[in-house]
Structure 1
Amino acid sequence: MSSMHYIQKGLLFKKPQTSPNNQQDFIENLLKNLKNSLSHALFYFYPLSGHLVTHKTEDPPSYTIFVDCSNNNPGARFIYATAEATISDILSPVDVPPVVESFFDLNKATNHDGHTMPLLSIQVTELVDGVFIGCSMNHCIGDGTSFWNFFNIWSEIFQSQDYENENKIVLISRQPFHNRWFPEGYGPPTNLPFKHHQEFISKYQSPIFRDRFFHFTQDYIARLKTKANKEFNTTKISSFQALSAHVWRCVTRARQLPNNQKTSCKLAINNRPRMEPPLPNEYFGNAVDVVSVETTVEELLQNNLGWAAMKVNEIVVNHDDKEVRKMLKEWLESPIVYQLGCHFDPHSITVSSSPRFNMYGNEFGMGKAIAVLSGYANKFDGNVSSYQGYEEGSIDLALTLMPDAMKALESDEEFMNAV
């Protein structure tokens, strides 16, 4: 993940209804309580207070990157900012407005920048009628599961109000698991085949995309699942597999690609429950792979939804303990570093994040969040970020596409009738 961006996700809240005279007191108390509860959370998630260090030797040759968690680190960053924008300014436009990118610190930073930049930065942006809490976390330190586990525990500590006593150790419901897991016979450390970071770090400048959220209700997702299973005469296809296949087909059609063009549906997949024995869900680190199913445009569009969804199902089901260890062994024998401009082609979609993450359960004294948003980070043509929907069982998908493809998708009746 060294050449990828930080994970950037955040929550938008409505300001409580208070008199103008009390607004300043509210913000001051909120900032104080957020900082105090964050300090307690970092007691448990201590790697986020560290920084990256590279250790090199010439005889024998070695190149390793590790996290320095010693006490001489500057720690995590906390920023307070203001914006002359309203909640309506953020949520009313069809596309995600560019101002949202300014709600996150460490914009466009690569994870390798964690050698000199903090591994975690929280930015609290006060809007005219709302508050946005944006979190930028180094992707070398953790994946989406780790990110939301941290966010959930921070919220839990905030709601307990035990953080008010700085000398008290706040008890939490789920301890993060920091023990490192490596395949038998490997690491730590893992020796990387490099001599300098310039060999594997590239700065990615995205073209002008359109970035838009699409909302799918629980009822529609259930009908999509039923349709896919009926078309393939099976009961194995899950709701999310059917939704992913549906988006894959619709986006491919919108792109108007040649029939013989190869296209794939890639999915970020959590390895924790797939291991034998399974890693705990609280394993704090990166335990994620990207699996892919490939076909031609002609085959994908001539066959029905059930056919495509079953292809997605097979690649997910087959990603078991044996496959995880095989992929890890291949990477350890020949490490690669993901490059945004190379490893994600413009003829495919990549589905990341997960609607299973507890996003709307995070509260910081302002009630339930009204939206989950992301920053500039890791967006490319065909990126599909999945989010827990505001209503129970619903799913929000944030699609990043080239303008012409997005315009065509918005004219696709099969797709738009569903959202």
Structure 2
Amino acid sequence: MESPPSVEIISSSFIKPKFISEEANKPVYLSPWDLAMMSTHYIQKGLLYALPKTQDFSITAFLDDLKHSLSDTLTHFYPLAARLSTVKQQNPPSFTMFIDPNNSPGARFIHSSVNLTIAGILTPTDVPITVQSFFDHHKAISHDGTKLSLLSVQVTELIDGIFIGCSVNHMVADGSSFWHFFNSWSEVFRSGTITRPPVTKRWVPPGPDPIITLPFASGDEVIERPNYPLGLRVRIFHFSSDSLAKLKAKVNSECNTSKISTLQALAALVWRCMTRARRLLPEQETTCGMAADNRKRLSPPLPETYFGTSLHSVKATTTAGKLLHHSNAWAAWRLHQSVVNHDDKVVQEFVNSWLEKPLVYTMSRYFDASCVHIGSSPRFDMYGNKFNLGNGLAVLSGYANKFDGKVTVYPGRESGGSMDLEICMLSKNMKAFESDEEFMSVVTY
């Protein structure tokens, strides 16, 4: 088997904010949502573009423009130019973590190249393993932000294309904040201004002390480094707006409602078909979790531009036998109910429970061979980031946070309500999944 082409690093530098305010020099103390992400990988997402065909395009000038606009953007998103710091206490053993603006060279910026074409990435059925090399901080977890940059940008030249990939510490940002930063950087590159500046003040539970102390001697007690499973396949499936509209209409009609969303209907379909492909025993429990943004669910709500992590996983659980015995509408309604029931009371109860007994999300504890987890959102503006390169050709992700049963949602390139699903499954089950008639009847390509 021919080895994949290797990515060559051409240069590496660090970018600091153009202007540093008094506020940007202060430490940023983390919320329970942030601290719970200590053991998760960095978020790794990026966009593939065609190389401009104009003769006056200069990669050197393009990289300079990216660096200058990144510096301007970091003036507003200054936590991304910092590092994490830890302060330990001896009696009792405990520690605190915070975003530390001091002693940081800034965000990392890498220029690389690879002897590969756009077709070499988009033509294969599965996402090529080489794409993982388009991102920095390979295998890094968020706790590593004490030594690594919290943001690393890697711009990779292909034979006929350009890939712009970002790796962002998951204790510092969630998907909403990640794409808010990416959108703002693209806006600054185009116009020099930001129309939606971030709210960088962290939400912390009400109380006399905003600093959360963790009852562990160090992070080493609670972190776990996720392993990329052997035999994991990663494939992207596309769903047209027409196909999704029919799916949504069908499940709502069967449930005599109009409240089930397109994503809930699609998530239910994936859950059922993935369970069937895994050939689970009828009595075995299976769970479908969906990433839910807490910003609007709090009372009072957080601003839409809140920069940080504000996530919770809403779940529906049943047995494999019941899931496959009932219709897709039955599963979609249960997912819908789990989303509706996730309100301020539930969020506050989680926070209070977490403060009594802090926990860190780990793969082995929260994900098993019978679960499905839906991450990201089709509402994120991904293809609006053009950087004077035209429309992106694909959104791709790196090594990070992949496991059997992980599903990542992207808006479709043609917009209008279309979606792409990046699905991770063990090879032994993916073959049955991609041959499932119920699932493939909704897939466009």
TM-score (norm 1): 0.95
Match in the other structure for 2:31: none
Alignment of 1:197 onto 2:219: yes
Q: Measure, in 1, the Cα distance between the counterparts of 2:189 and 2:344.
A: 37
Runs of 4+ in 1 over 6 A off after TM superposition: none
Match in the other structure for 2:144: 113
Match in the other structure for 2:326: 303
**Residue number among 43, 49, 56 corresponding to 1:13 in the alignment:** 49
Q: Measure, in 2, the Cα distance between the counterparts of 1:250 and 1:409.
A: 6
Q: Measure, in 1, the Cα distance between the counterparts of 2:138 and 2:254.
A: 44
Letter in 2 for 1:226: A
Alignment of 1:382 onto 2:377: no
CA change 1:6–1:229 in 2 (3 A) is: same
**Residue number among 38, 50, 64 corresponding to 1:2 in the alignment:** 38
CA deviation vs aligned residue, 1:60-81 (integer Å, no higher than 9, x gap): 65310001013x3111000000
Q: Measure, in 1, the Cα distance between the counterparts of 2:125 and 2:94.
A: 50
- Please list, as runs of the form range in 1=range in 2, the aligned pairs for 1:87-102 lying within 5 A after superposition: 87-102=118-133
CA deviation vs aligned residue, 1:286-305 (integer Å, no higher than 9, x gap): 11111111000010010111
Letter in 2 for 1:9: K
Q: Measure, in 2, the Cα distance between the counterparts of 1:186 and 1:359.
A: 40
**Residue number among 163, 166, 177 corresponding to 1:146 in the alignment:** 177
**Residue number among 243, 252, 260 corresponding to 2:275 in the alignment:** 252
2:247 and 2:442 in contact (8 A); partners too: no
Residue aligned with 1:341, SS = helix
Match in the other structure for 1:400: 424
CA deviation vs aligned residue, 1:342-382 (integer Å, no higher than 9, x gap): 31111010000000000000011111111000000000010
The number of residue pairs the alignment matches comes to 405
CA change 1:400–1:186 in 2 (3 A) is: farther
Residue aligned with 1:18, SS = coil
Letter in 2 for 1:18: T
Match in the other structure for 2:228: 206
2:294 and 2:312 in contact (8 A); partners too: yes
Pairwise CA distance, 1:187: 4.5
2:393 and 2:413 in contact (8 A); partners too: yes
Pairwise CA distance, 1:84: 0.2
Pairwise CA distance, 1:183: 2.1
Letter in 2 for 1:4: T
Alignment of 1:240 onto 2:263: yes
- Please list, as runs of the form range in 1=range in 2, the aligned pairs for 1:253-268 lying within 5 A after superposition: 253-268=276-291
Q: Measure, in 1, the Cα distance between the counterparts of 2:304 and 2:199.
A: 8
Residue aligned with 2:96, SS = strand
CA deviation vs aligned residue, 1:167-197 (integer Å, no higher than 9, x gap): xxxx410110011212222742111111022
Match in the other structure for 1:56: 88
Alignment of 1:81 onto 2:112: yes
Alignment of 1:184 onto 2:215: no
Match in the other structure for 2:70: 38
Compare 179-188 and 287-296 and name the one that shifted more.
Answer: 179-188
Unpaired runs of 5+ in structure 1? 163-170
Residue aligned with 1:101, SS = helix
Q: Measure, in 2, the Cα distance between the counterparts of 1:186 and 1:140.
A: 23
Q: Measure, in 2, the Cα distance between the counterparts of 1:411 and 1:144.
A: 31
CA deviation vs aligned residue, 1:275-296 (integer Å, no higher than 9, x gap): 1111011100011111111000
Q: RMSD of the alignment, in Å?
A: 1.1
Residue aligned with 2:366, SS = coil
- Please list, as runs of the form range in 1=range in 2, the aligned pairs for 1:323-362 lying within 5 A after superposition: 323-362=346-385
Residue aligned with 1:274, SS = coil
Q: Measure, in 2, the Cα distance between the counterparts of 1:155 and 1:186.
A: 39
Residue aligned with 1:346, SS = coil
1:221 and 1:239 in contact (8 A); partners too: yes
CA change 1:180–1:258 in 2 (3 A) is: same
Alignment of 1:135 onto 2:149: no
Match in the other structure for 2:238: 215
1:231 and 1:305 in contact (8 A); partners too: no
> What is the percentage of aligned positions where both structures have the same residue?
52
Letter in 2 for 1:405: N
Q: Measure, in 1, the Cα distance between the counterparts of 2:68 and 2:181.
A: 15
Match in the other structure for 1:166: none
Q: Measure, in 1, the Cα distance between the counterparts of 2:184 and 2:339.
A: 29
Pairwise CA distance, 1:401: 0.3
CA deviation vs aligned residue, 1:100-148 (integer Å, no higher than 9, x gap): 0000000100111100010000000000000000000000001000000
Match in the other structure for 1:415: 439
CA change 1:132–1:322 in 2 (3 A) is: same
Alignment of 1:315 onto 2:315: no
1:272 and 1:287 in contact (8 A); partners too: yes
Q: Measure, in 1, the Cα distance between the counterparts of 2:39 and 2:203.
A: 22
2:93 and 2:215 in contact (8 A); partners too: no
Match in the other structure for 2:249: 226
Q: Measure, in 2, the Cα distance between the counterparts of 1:280 and 1:196.
A: 33
- Please list, as runs of the form range in 1=range in 2, the aligned pairs for 1:268-287 lying within 5 A after superposition: 268-287=291-310
1:349 and 1:382 in contact (8 A); partners too: yes
CA deviation vs aligned residue, 1:190-226 (integer Å, no higher than 9, x gap): 1111102221122222222000001111111111111
TM-score (norm 2): 0.89
CA change 1:257–1:60 in 2 (3 A) is: closer
Residue aligned with 1:148, SS = helix
Q: Measure, in 1, the Cα distance between the counterparts of 2:63 and 2:188.
A: 15
1:231 and 1:304 in contact (8 A); partners too: no
Residue aligned with 1:43, SS = helix
Unpaired runs of 5+ in structure 2? 1-36
Letter in 2 for 1:35: K
Letter in 2 for 1:14: A
Q: Measure, in 1, the Cα distance between the counterparts of 2:399 and 2:93.
A: 37
Residue aligned with 2:422, SS = strand
Compare 188-197 and 27-36 and name the one that shifted more.
Answer: 188-197
Letter in 1 for 2:47: L
Q: Measure, in 1, the Cα distance between the counterparts of 2:274 and 2:266.
A: 12
